[in-house]
Chain A
Amino acid sequence: MASTSTAGDPIQRLIRELSKLPGIGQKTATRLAFFVLRAPAEQAQSLARALVEVKERIRLCSLCMNLTEHDPCEMCSDPARDDRLLCVVAHPPDLLSIERTSSFRGRYHVLHGVLSPLQGIGPDDLRVRELIARLAPPSPVEEVILATSPNVEGEATALYLSKAVKAYGIRVSRIASGLPIGGDLEYADGITIARALEVRRDM
């Protein structure tokens, strides 16, 4: 295939950079590059600024390890939140999911991953030490809620943390799993139904 462009061509450079992004192939990258090219200059500058700022200004909160611009983050410094409840999640998007419900008003801790010996990810590769540091006395935390996903890796991580947390005499709970609200029993998969039956409750 003959190419008229050189490696230094800004359009080619942009396409190459964009196609490094997850889920973006050569075709989409080309479409995005030409979209940016045709867009008003302010829009391109705003995109460029956002890209640079996200790297320069976002860091980890020294308390909860969530992504933040200010350290400590908004959630850690919010005096209205309950210090006694600590919810542990695997990834920042998990935290956002819980936060969207507005039904949890405690504090968070983000692990940035789950245990996966097959991929060589052990406790030292997660923010476990930081979590333990928050639980060492005198700690206001009275209950740790383990909100990792209900799959093999998430369960292993929860099991591991529950042992570590219990060593401090702090109550540990695990988020429930079962049927989705508003869903039909008819369409639920077998394992979910089996689990829902296992953890059924009295009425």
Chain B
Amino acid sequence: MFVRSLHTSDFRNLREVAYTPHPRVNVIFGDNGQGKTNLIESIFLLATQRSFRRSKLDDLVRFGCEKAEVIARICHGEVERRLAVQILTRPSRKIALCDGKSARSSDYFQGVHVVLFAPEDLLLPKGSPEERRRFLDRAIWNTCPSYLDEVRTYEQVLKSRNAVLKSMLAASGMRRRPSFGSDGELATVEHSEDSESLLSVYSEQLAVAGGRIIARRRHYLQTIAPQVEATFDRISRSGLRASLEYRPKVIGRDIEVASPSELQSILYEQLERDRKRDRIRGFTHSGPHGDDMVIGLDGRDAALHASQGQVRALVLALKITEIQHLFCLHGDPPVLLLDDVSSELDAQRNGYLFDFLRAMPSQVFITTTSPEHVKLDQDRLDVRMNHGGLWSDAVAS
């Protein structure tokens, strides 16, 4: 896939941008705060219908405007489609159009694959489990669009189960003030049979939806792990072994080998065991919403033991593998968005990254303050971002 043309209006600080990128390498340069990342974000928004910054919908609209719009012509092989996302304020909502018509998300996302590599990704091994789950879920979604529905279903069931737990907590508080027995446990709080069986219903539903997600995540990590190891070895040349492992928060049993249906029953049993604790806390403890992935270095957790340089090499290996895996899977290179990454990498790792980009037939968008540091010479188009407007160096547009 590649972006043939991009048009934004009132998207963040980009008032009106008409951009015809190169099918291969695009370098967007300029000083900080001019809107380079916003341009990357607009492509990301088109591809995923969401922002990669954690901002409200309204924040995407240029201050004082009522509507932001991003339109692009996207090519997959011979087919060209026109994707558009509109963000409206008062009330905030988002409209996604494919060839001018509203499309089911499965149709809209068909063949649209974008991988973002941003400085925040370099914090992944040492960051919060939530960020690693986000990385994992996004990577899986790129390989399989229906994963999004599975995640949404899981989230809805999780919210429902938590609501049941909260109402039980409130009911027990009304009946009897919580008193702690000598063993430190909440003493004599009875619940009606009704709410107990209601809780079982949501445990069962959560186990089914959660088991699916664990199976997907585990499968993805098992698929890419050997390649991450090999790539890391080539980047770092340290002889250290990189590893990836899915780590469920609570389930103690070895889930590496459990079948999806076994995962569902393992999770169900865990939820049943957690019943008492969940009721006291008023929320669900176990499940993929609390799981993590461990990035390891020679058998030790990289979050604790890896150096800054090793962490960068690990993330680079992870990102490169994600891209290669997508390319193999779809037979079509994904669009790559590199937001000011090379400034965070040293010369050797930058060299590796640019070698990779040269070999990968992807369309690439790179933002940077210093275009001369982008060591890619062929099939390249540079544009300058200045105060939310794009300027080509040869001819001002």
Q: Which of A95-118 contact B (CB under 8 A)?
A: 115-118
Q: Which of B183-224 contact A (CB under 8 A)?
A: 194-195, 197-198, 200-202, 204-205
Bound-state Cα–Cα, A164 to B196, Å: 12
Cβ of B191 to closest chain A Cβ, rounded Å: 12
User: Are A156 and B104 also in contact (CB < 8 A) when A118-B159, A190-B146 are?
Assistant: no
Chain B: which residue is nearest A163 at the CB level? B197
Chain A: which residue is nearest B160 at the CB level? A117
B contact residues, range: 20 to 34
A202 interface hit (Cβ, 8 Å): no
A50 interface hit (Cβ, 8 Å): no
A152 interface hit (Cβ, 8 Å): yes
Q: Secondary structure at chain B's binding surface: helix, strand, loop or mixed?
A: helix
From the candidates B106, B163, B195, name the one contacting A190 in the complex (CB within 8 A): B106
Bound-state Cα–Cα, A165 to B205, Å: 18
B149 interface hit (Cβ, 8 Å): yes
Cβ of A12 to closest chain B Cβ, rounded Å: 28
Kindly list chain B residues whose C-beta atoms are within 8 Å of the C-beta of A159: 201, 204-205
Cβ of B180 to closest chain A Cβ, rounded Å: 27
Chain B: which residue is nearest A116 at the CB level? B160
A156–B202 touching, CB < 8 Å: yes
| CB within 8 Å: A-B pair count | 53
Q: Secondary structure at chain A's binding surface: helix, strand, loop or mixed?
A: helix
Kindly list chain A residues whose C-beta atoms are within 8 Å of the C-beta of B202: 117, 156
From the candidates A120, A160, A194, name the one contacting B198 in the complex (CB within 8 A): A160
Cβ of B91 to closest chain A Cβ, rounded Å: 16
Instruction: Digitize A33-63: 1 where CB-to-B-CB distance is under 8 Å, 0 elsewhere.
Output: 0000000000000000000000000000000
Q: Which of B314-341 contact A (CB under 8 A)?
A: none
B370 interface hit (Cβ, 8 Å): no
Cβ of A193 to closest chain B Cβ, rounded Å: 9
A120–B205 touching, CB < 8 Å: no
A189 interface hit (Cβ, 8 Å): yes
* 9 contacting pairs across A/B (C-beta < 8 A): A117-B164, A117-B167, A123-B194, A156-B157, A159-B204, A160-B198, A163-B197, A163-B201, A194-B146
